[in-house]
Amino acid sequence: MLDPNHVKKSNSKTMHNTKLITVLLTLSLVVAAATAQAKSPNSATRVENLIWANGKIYDTIVSGSTFNSPPDHSVDLFFDFGMSGLMDQRPVSDAAPGDKEYNGGRWWVQKVFFTAQGIAALVSCNT
């Protein structure tokens, strides 16, 4: 015979477990959202010894922020050689901290590409 008190206890225990699982899942989602926000494209990262300018190497702060059509006078040229075929070539900027025309590291990134002939010419100049 089924004991009605046993059924009540089982339902109560099941509800308690369901609530506990719901709370744990909610906490997991909150932690996951906070972690994703910390690693979001808009977070900033300091990168040491990244940019050449005026014969010196500078650190910079890299962020996921973008400027949609900024005025030309408000950005500094930033030549990125990452896809050029040159190994270990750091980016080069046309301005640096202390320069009158420096815009605080708001970069207008220009990707630099070389043809096979251009890379051959660079290699032959360095040998």
pTM for the full model? 0.56
DSSP E strands, 13-75: 44-53, 56-63
pLDDT recorded at residue 56: 94
Q: Based on the domain organization, do 55 and 28 belong to the same domain?
A: no
Amino acid, single-letter form, for residue 31 = V
What pairs with residue 44 in β-bridges? 63
Which is nearest to 79 in space by CA: 49, 110, 58? Answer: 110
Q: Based on the domain organization, do 65 and 103 belong to the same domain?
A: yes
Q: Based on the domain organization, do 52 and 16 belong to the same domain?
A: no
> Could you give the number of structural domains in the chain?
2
In terms of residue numbers, what domain contains 81? 44-125
Q: Based on the domain organization, do 14 and 54 belong to the same domain?
A: no
- Residues of the chain short of pLDDT 50, as ranges, are 20, 22-38
